[in-house]
Amino acid sequence: MPNPAAAVLLDRPIRIDIAKLVQALIERHPDISPDQSPVPLSDAIAVPDSTVLLKFSGQIIALIKFNAPLPASNWQPAARRALYWPEAASVCQHHRAYIVVSAMGEGDNTLAVAQAMTAVAGALAATHPACSAVLWSTTAVNSAKVWAEYARRAFASYPEYPMVLWVSVQGLRDKARSRTGMITQGLQAFAGCEVQIEADQSRAGELLDNVYGLVAYLLQPGATIGDGDTFGGSAAERITIRHAESLYVPGVPVYAATLEATQP
């Protein structure tokens, strides 16, 4: 599965301070073992001036600078979904340069790759004031401040992953059936499917917890849910998961579930 990529948006073109970045990674992630600690490779490998290579947590991370804005088509969909950050579109609109953070090669553990990339992008956002936002693939965007903070948890174990940096949630509504719902954007890169949960109006308040609970489970390497398996809920209720194509986003495979009305 191809690795995801992050784009760190900048108010202006900058030079990456590799020494400051490495020091920040060491300080922000003290549990990383010495043999996994950050090692700059740019001096040892011939790369363009616009590129910095870093070996970290078992990954080769490339930071590639572009002294021009990222095309709007890359960030606009995520900005429109960022209801949690009303200033998203304005901040993205005003960036003037960006840095792509990506892992070289294709790994078989997407979570491990994402964790290393997230830590590097977080340290970059924390140490370079020109950073204004971070876009994960084309699915989720957050302010540089939020990214820098959440990225401290890049290597957290289940269920404490910084999944809000990787996966966004879009609201759904089916007036004909008096249902509301949510569908994820970005989980497919990790699990091959998105999550789509609908609910009777009386249970709309339970949607987000159930969506993120299922997302956290599916981010684990090798996690699978069979068609008809159950998940979450409580000891008294388990939610049945179905494999389906989204009714709301044609062509997108989903793990689909419905929270039915509670019985009186």
- What tens digit of pLDDT does each residue of 209-230 get? 999 999 999 999 999 999 999 9
**224-253 mean pLDDT:** 87
- What tens digit of pLDDT does each residue of 59-112 get? 999 999 999 999 999 999 999 999 999 999 999 999 999 999 999 987 789 999
Residues 117 and 138: their CA atoms lie apart, in Å, by 15
pLDDT of residue 48: 81
- What tens digit of pLDDT does each residue of 155-187 get? 999 999 999 999 999 999 876 667 899 999 999
**How many Cβ atoms from other residues are within 10 Å of residue 119's Cβ?**
27
pLDDT of residue 199: 92
**231-252 mean pLDDT:** 85
pLDDT of residue 61: 96
Q: Which amino acid is at 177?
A: R
- What tens digit of pLDDT does each residue of 117-135 get? 999 999 999 999 999 999 9
What's the predicted TM-score (pTM) here?
0.93
pLDDT of residue 46: 59
**19-27 mean pLDDT:** 97
pLDDT of residue 261: 82
How much is the mean pLDDT over the chain? 92
Residues 94 and 203: their CA atoms lie apart, in Å, by 39
Residues 113 and 137: their CA atoms lie apart, in Å, by 13
Residues 193 and 218: their CA atoms lie apart, in Å, by 9
Q: Which two tokens stand for residue 171?
A: 């609201």
pLDDT of residue 228: 95
Q: Which two tokens stand for residue 103?
A: 């892992």
pLDDT of residue 79: 96
Q: What is the 3-state secondary structure (H, E, C) of the chain?
A: CCCCEEEEEECCCCCCCHHHHHHHHHHHCCCCCHHHCCEECCCCCCCCCCEEEEEECCEEEEEEEECCCCCHHHHHHHHHHCCCCCCHHHHHHCCCEEEEEEECCCCCCHHHHHHHHHHHHHHHHHHCCCEEEEEECCCEEEEHHHHHHHHHHCCCCCCCCCHHHCCEEEEEEEHHHCEEEEEEECCHHHHCCEEEEEEEHHHHHHHHHHHHHHHHHHHCCCCCCCCCCEECCCCCCCEECEEEECCCCCCCEEEEEEECCCCC
Q: Which amino acid is at 225?
A: I
- What tens digit of pLDDT does each residue of 136-147 get? 999 999 999 999
pLDDT of residue 173: 84
Span between the terminal Cα atoms of the chain, in Å: 46
pLDDT of residue 31: 94
pLDDT of residue 100: 97
**234-247 mean pLDDT:** 84
Domain boundaries defined on the chain: 5-158, 168-259
